[in-house]
């Protein structure tokens, strides 16, 4: 069996607030803390959580758009965490990103054809005919007519712009695309078209996706596995089926119970999570979820629960649900 395409080990990102002379006195935001997971070829791993849980920072760490404080990012067995700019540029062929807002992530001065072929032209010079043929192929692959290659982003709809962003990400044929809230800015009907496009692309090309979303109905539709983040840490990692059928961490349970169902006569079991996400500058002691958790015991306020394997293979960070003795 081949190894994972992407492996993340103990990744962390801390931001020091202020620029005081005594750095040790500056407050620290722990945006991402001790995050580990892997993505297999052809797999879709979704990262979910409320806004501010660190999922977008995690996406930027993987792409090295922001530098990690510690931990490792390994792609195809190569640790790229320490790569310099040149090696990083070459490695970026292996992993591309699609952002939430296609309008601000596309250069408004370039035509659709120039946008989708730009990544390839960063590596090789194309003749005009080659560029047009490549642009036509990429646009058709994401369900757009080749004539669109002469239009500018401002002349396209939101859904067309996101298709364009996906075509650009596909142009280097990466085995993995990181999609950060890639459908959140779109209307529901357009969302469905883009999600189906991603599923078709995966089926046809075997591409893997790391899909960041706060929308559980989207996640349920496309994920093979799901990692739930809370205050910078993964608190549950399970197959999509297992997670939705039997959420185990109290936070996962609350998130799923708050997600709307297409049938208004049905309600999800459990109570939605109450209260606000605590500040990452001054997180609660022990389990960071304890101020909002209806199952908290004394131990939860004192000890941080480790991410522990359960009988069905999922990982859960909870003293109560993993059966640690109560204190």
Q: Note whether 307 binds ligand SF4 by CB under 6 A.
A: no
Number of residues engaging ligand SF4 in binding (CB under 6 A): 14
Q: Note whether 179 binds ligand SF4 by CB under 6 A.
A: no
Of 5 and 300, CB closest to ligand SF4: 300
Mark residues 227-266: x for contact with ligand SF4 by CB under 6 A, - for none: ----------------------xx----------------
Q: What are the contacts of 130-137 at 24+ separation with CB within 8 A?
A: 134/171
CA torsion through residues 241, 244, 247, 250, sign? positive
What are residue 96's DSSP bridge partners? 177
Q: Which of 89, 150, 173, 295 binds ligand SF4 (CB under 6 A)?
A: 295
Q: Which of 169, 186, 231, 287 binds ligand SF4 (CB under 6 A)?
A: 287
Q: Note whether 305 binds ligand SF4 by CB under 6 A.
A: yes
Report the nearest approach of ligand SF4 to the CB of residue 59 (Å): 25
Return the residue matching tokens 């390994």: 74
Q: Which of 48, 97, 254, 320 binds ligand SF4 (CB under 6 A)?
A: 320
DSSP state of 276: P
Q: Note whether 289 binds ligand SF4 by CB under 6 A.
A: yes
- Collect all residues with Cβ–Cβ distance below 8 Å to 104 and sequence separation of at least 6: none
Q: Measured between alpha carbons, how far is 280 from 52 in angstroms, rounded to an integer?
A: 9
* 2 close to 41: Cβ distance less than 8 angstroms: yes
* Residue 216, CA distances (Å) to 1, 112, 244 in order: 31, 31, 9
Q: Which residues bind ligand SF4 (CB under 6 A)?
A: 249-250, 287, 289-290, 293, 295-296, 300, 305, 318-321
């Amino acid at each position: 069996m081949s190894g994972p395409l992407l492996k993340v080990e103990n990744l962390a990102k801390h931001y020091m607030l202020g620029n005081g002379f005594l750095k040790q006195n500056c407050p620290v935001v722990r945006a991402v803390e001790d995050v580990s997971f892997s993505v297999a070829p052809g797999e879709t791993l979704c990262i979910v959580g409320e806004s501010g849980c660190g999922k977008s920072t995690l996406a930027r760490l993987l792409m090295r758009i922001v530098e990690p404080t510690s931990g490792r990012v390994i792609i195809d067995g190569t640790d790229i965490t320490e790569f310099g700019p040149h090696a990083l540029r070459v490695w970026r062929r292996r992993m591309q990103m699609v952002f939430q807002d296609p309008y601000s992530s596309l250069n408004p001065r370039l035509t659709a054809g120039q946008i989708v072929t730009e990544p390839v032209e960063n590596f090789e010079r194309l003749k005009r005919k080659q560029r047009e043929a490549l642009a036509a192929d990429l646009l058709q692959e994401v369900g757009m007519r080749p004539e669109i290659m002469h239009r500018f982003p401002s002349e396209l709809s939101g859904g067309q712009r996101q298709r364009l962003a996906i075509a650009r990400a596909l142009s280097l044929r990466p085995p993995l695309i990181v999609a950060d809230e890639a459908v959140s800015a779109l209307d529901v009907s357009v969302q469905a078209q883009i999600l189906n496009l991603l599923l078709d692309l995966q089926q046809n090309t075997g591409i893997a996706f790391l899909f960041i979303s706060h929308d559980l109905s989207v996640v349920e539709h496309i994920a093979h596995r799901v990692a739930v983040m809370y205050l910078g840490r993964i608190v549950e990692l399970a197959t999509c089926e297992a997670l939705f059928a039997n959420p185990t961490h109290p936070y996962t349970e609350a998130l799923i119970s708050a997600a709307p169902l297409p049938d208004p006569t049905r309600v999800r079991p459990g109570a939605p999570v109450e209260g606000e996400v605590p500040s990452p500058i001054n997180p609660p002691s022990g389990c960071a979820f304890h101020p909002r958790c209806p199952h908290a015991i004394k131990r939860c306020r004192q000890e941080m629960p480790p991410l522990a394997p359960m009988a069905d293979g999922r990982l859960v960070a909870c003293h109560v649900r993993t059966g640690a003795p109560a204190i």
